[in-house]
Structure 1
Amino acid sequence: MAALLKLSGLIDRVSELIGKLIMWLVLAAVLISAGNAIVRKVFNMSSNALLEVQWYLFAAVFMLGAGYVFLRNAHVRIDVLSSHLSRRANAVIDILGILLVILPLCYILINLSWP
């Protein structure tokens, strides 16, 4: 049991570190998006490379940030419903959401962005 607790602590620390790094990726995505929009409007030109970088950054933020968001309990919920449910029911919903939404989406994003 102690080994599992150590592993859990290590995973939490790694998730914290990744979460802090992800914040910089969000800033980079915003700056690239704004820069691309400004260049498109001012100079009437656009860059497909910058658009693709935005999508890759979005995928990285989503996939790498999921652990941090769950660690901080900051993921999106419908508060009207979740406030009336027990902690156990909310945990079951979280687990089903991870298994049925997040993991398949991460798999799709990895397959589409790997090449």
Structure 2
Amino acid sequence: MRVLLALSRLIDAVNDGIGKLTYWLVLLAVLVSSGNAVIRYSLNHSSNAWLELQWYLFSAVFLLCAGYTFLRNEHIRIDIILGRFSKRVQAWVDIFGILVFMFPMTILIMVLSWPMFMDSYLTNEMSSDAGGLIRWPSKFLVPAGFFLLTLQGVSELIKRIAYLAGAIDEPGEKMHGHS
């Protein structure tokens, strides 16, 4: 169990680090959006590349932070119903949800999105809009984001099992602090 908990801590650290780095993408998206708006209205000039960059950054924030959100227990849950049960029942429900719903969905999305990314990468697919960006980086975000979410699911699964085995205190409490 110690090895699995060490793996869980490593996965948590990876998603925590990526989540905190992704905070900066929000700022960058705001700056790009603001700069683009100022240039468009003051100089009557616009660029599809800047518009697409905003879309890429917005996508990166949501896709790369899914695992971070799960780590911090900030994801959407059915707490109004689940909160009425004991912590042990809640852990069992989490285990069931991760195994039966989350893993099949995240793995399916990774498997189906990988060929789309590879095709885009190998053909150096470009935007169909004039002056647009290459497409493969945005297509890579889908399998990458769902991979990070799957990894965090592994970590959360380990923590729930360790909790039920009495090896750790209750996992899954909402983390507080800056977000």
Shorter-chain TM-score range: 0.7 to 0.9
RMSD: 3.2
The residue aligned with 1:104 is 109
Give distance in 1, aligned partners of 2:64 and 2:95: 23
The answer to whether the 8 Å contact 1:25/1:61 transfers is yes
Q: Give the number of aligned pairs.
A: 111
TM-score, length-normalised on structure 2?
0.50
Structure 2 gap ranges (5+)? 121-134, 138-179
Amino acid at match of 1:62: F
Structure 1 gap segments, 5+ residues each: none
Structure possessing the higher radius of gyration over alpha carbons: 2
| Greater RCO, 1 or 2 (C-alpha within 8 Å, sep 6+) | 2
Q: State the 1:64 CA deviation.
A: 1.5
Taking structure 1 as the reference length, the TM-score comes to 0.73
Q: Percent identity?
A: 50
Q: Which residue of 2 aligns with 1:2?
A: 2
Structure with the bigger percentage of helix: 1
For residues 37-85 of structure 1, give each alpha carbon's deviation from its aligned partner in whole angstroms, at most 9, with x where no partner exists. 22212222111111121122122222221111100111245xxx54123
Cα distance change, pair 46–53 in 1 and its aligned pair in 2 (3 A): same
1:31 maps onto 2:28 in alignment: no
